[in-house]
């Protein structure tokens, strides 16, 4: 089955830029989507497709793709961006999904 | 407003069954593919099941295949998950989530989530 690998933890200074990556062979075939999850809350979609933000998501969130890696970039990280971030994509069957292992972002 | 509300979570003994429900409102449920996603305590997200908009096609994670059944009622705007032969490893918060576009990953993603319902299968 397909796997998506993320760094377990990343930190960023307030106002600086941070990139969270997601690696998996399936990303050569399908786009990833990205989710922010704060403690005790449901996940929230922040990026989908090539680099699309749902309504209400700040433009400091952006996405990019290269080969087997999808990236989520936060430009000018804010304290409220501290959360767990998960990537998600389909597996090779096209109708099964897989989530990444998750990255805990700390804003210093 | 746009909303998904899960219900049915509880404490259930190993080997028993449980049915979860998700009530949708504020969007076109009948034209939306729907998913169940779960999260074990302190762990990451795990996709569980997908049902296409007319209910004709269903897909399951290997970990729940042949034990769980996803279904929907487009007249009542509800999504269900029937869970049989429950195991301790099924303990998790279960979320229902809408699939923006199940056919095109460039437009896809789970854009609407419920608040989750907790299932506890004690050892």
pLDDT tens for each residue of A32-59: 999 999 999 999 999 999 999 999 999 9
Backbone dihedral angles phi then psi of residue B30, each to the nearest 5 degrees: -65, -20
User: What is the pLDDT, as a whole number, of residue B105?
Assistant: 84
In this predicted model, what pLDDT tens digit does every residue of B62-90 receive, in sequence order?
Answer: 999 999 999 999 999 999 999 999 999 99
Question: Facing residues of A64 across strands?
Answer: A71
Look up residue A35 and give its two tokens. 């989710």
The answer to whether the Cβ–Cβ distance between A33 and B109 falls below 8 Å is: yes
The answer to whether the Cβ–Cβ distance between A88 and B109 falls below 8 Å is: yes
Q: Which of residues 4-63 of B touch A (CB under 8 A)?
A: 35, 37, 44-47, 50, 57, 59, 61-62
| Smallest CA–CA distance from B110 into chain A, residue | A45
Mean pLDDT of chain A: 96
Does the pLDDT at position A94 exceed 90?
no
Mean pLDDT of chain B: 97
The answer to whether the Cβ–Cβ distance between B107 and A48 falls below 8 Å is: yes
User: What is the pLDDT, as a whole number, of residue A1?
Assistant: 54
The mean per-residue pLDDT over the stretch B42-51 comes to 98
* B59, A95 Cβ separation under 8 angstroms: yes
Q: How confident is the model at residue A2 (pLDDT cuts 50, 70, 90)?
A: confident
Does the pLDDT at position B56 exceed 80?
yes
Does the pLDDT at position A66 exceed 70?
yes
Cα B100 to Cα A108: distance, rounded to the nearest angstrom: 34
Cα B26 to Cα A28: distance, rounded to the nearest angstrom: 35
* A59, A53 Cβ separation under 8 angstroms: yes
The mean per-residue pLDDT over the stretch A85-94 comes to 91
In DSSP notation, A75-108 reads SS--GGG-EEEEEEEE-TTSS-EEE---EEEEE-
Q: How far is B76 from chain A (nearest CA, A)?
A: 24
> Residues 6 or more apart from A99 whose CB is under 8 A from it?
A4, A86, A87, A88, B37, B44, B45, B46, B47
Partner residue facing B47 (CB), from A42, A45, A99? A99
């Amino acid at each position: 089955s397909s796997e998506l690998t993320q760094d377990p933890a990343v930190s960023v200074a307030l106002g600086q830029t941070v990139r969270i990556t997601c690696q998996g062979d399936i990303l050569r075939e399908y786009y990833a989507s990205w989710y922010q999850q704060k403690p005790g809350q449901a996940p929230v979609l922040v990026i989908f497709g090539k680099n699309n933000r749902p309504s209400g998501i700040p433009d400091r969130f952006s996405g990019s793709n290269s080969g087997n890696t999808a990236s989520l970039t936060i430009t000018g990280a804010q304290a409220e961006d501290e959360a767990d971030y998960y990537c998600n994509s389909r597996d090779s069957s096209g109708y099964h999904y897989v989530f990444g292992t998750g990255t805990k972002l700390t804003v210093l | 407003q746009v909303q998904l509300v899960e219900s049915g979570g509880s404490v259930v003994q190993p080997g028993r069954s449980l049915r979860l429900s998700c009530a949708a409102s504020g969007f076109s449920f009948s034209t939306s593919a729907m998913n169940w996603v779960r999260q074990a305590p302190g762990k990451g997200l795990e996709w569980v099941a997908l049902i296409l908009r007319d209910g004709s096609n269903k897909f399951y994670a290997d970990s729940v295949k042949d034990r769980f059944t996803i279904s929907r009622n487009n007249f009542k705007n509800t999504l269900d998950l029937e869970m049989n032969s429950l195991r301790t490893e099924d303990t998790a918060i279960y979320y229902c989530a809408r699939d923006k576009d199940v056919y095109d990953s460039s437009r896809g993603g789970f854009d609407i989530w419920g608040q989750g319902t907790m299932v506890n299968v004690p050892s």
